[in-house]
Amino acid sequence: MANLPLPAFLSPAPRVAVIRLAGLIAPPAGGLRAGGLSLEAMAGPIARAFAVKRLAGVALAINSPGGSPVQSSLIAGRIRALAEEKKLPVTTFVQDVGASGGYWLACAGDEIFCDESSILGSIGVVSASFGFGRALARLGIERRLYTAGSRKGLLDPFGPEREEDVARLRAVQDDIHESFKAWVRTRRGARLKAPEEELFTGEFWTGRRAVALGLADGIGELRTTMRARHGEKVRFAVFGGPRRPWWARFLPGADTLMATAADTLAERAAYARFGL
């Protein structure tokens, strides 16, 4: 007897859970701030995404210029832990930018796809500050700093820069950079097509070049690629996205009116590094 197709209600469409990871990666915020990407903010959406029934796979929609290496590691680690527990494939789709910590998140996927003009890479560590010592002297302001511990005043922006302080900071940066490189090696392995001296300098590339270097697997858009793999009837469940502060529920429109200027400037500056 020929095999007859099952009725539609007996063969439900497969589902793909989409986890949106967009914005600056930052430690959990408090007060009136909405905050950026952190494990605290994303743990719930990630858990719900992996709990979807009839799940064929998980897709990461990434649009991030980076930020906290700790939160990048925690979020990526949580995704990998659930992927291995549920034995589900995870596919990353980089949108405008997946650089620095954003690329750290991208490597949580088993495969990485991007647009030809996406920005990927920036496998490095950066710290920035200002020195106000001479400005204070011109204004006749005396800096008073009291510490217990000879290195407690490390890189005080109101004092002169000391070579030993810079050397200490660079040692910390090197440690973090090594962790970043080890993660990329683990996740990309033999797919990397260029020497580490080229890939791990902090340089970034367009999507087309990233594919050639082995930092990504191909050019592709989320819905088109997932439908090609799982059929035209595949259904998408989206989790995550911009986080609203608690007070926005009581003050309609206050998200925009009361957004913290420092947060907005920091995020814009992060994207500007990549010409966005």
Which residues carry out catalysis? 100, 152
Query: Within 13 Å, how many C-alpha atoms sit on residue 144's CB side?
Result: 2
Cα angle at 7 between 6 and 10, to 5 degrees?
A: 80
Largest CA distance in the chain: 96
Instruction: Specify the DSSP class assigned to residue 248.
Output: G
Sorted by sequence, the CB contacts under 8 Å of residue 131 that are 6+ apart come out as 157, 160, 161
CA distances to 41, 67, 182, 193, 243 from 36, rounded to whole Å, are 8, 9, 25, 33, 8
Instruction: Specify the DSSP class assigned to residue 37.
Output: B
Checking DSSP bridges between strand 55-64 and strand 15-22, what pairing results, if any? parallel
Give yes or no for a contact between 272 and 66, defined as CB atoms under 8 angstroms apart.
Answer: no
Instruction: Specify the DSSP class assigned to residue 67.
Output: B
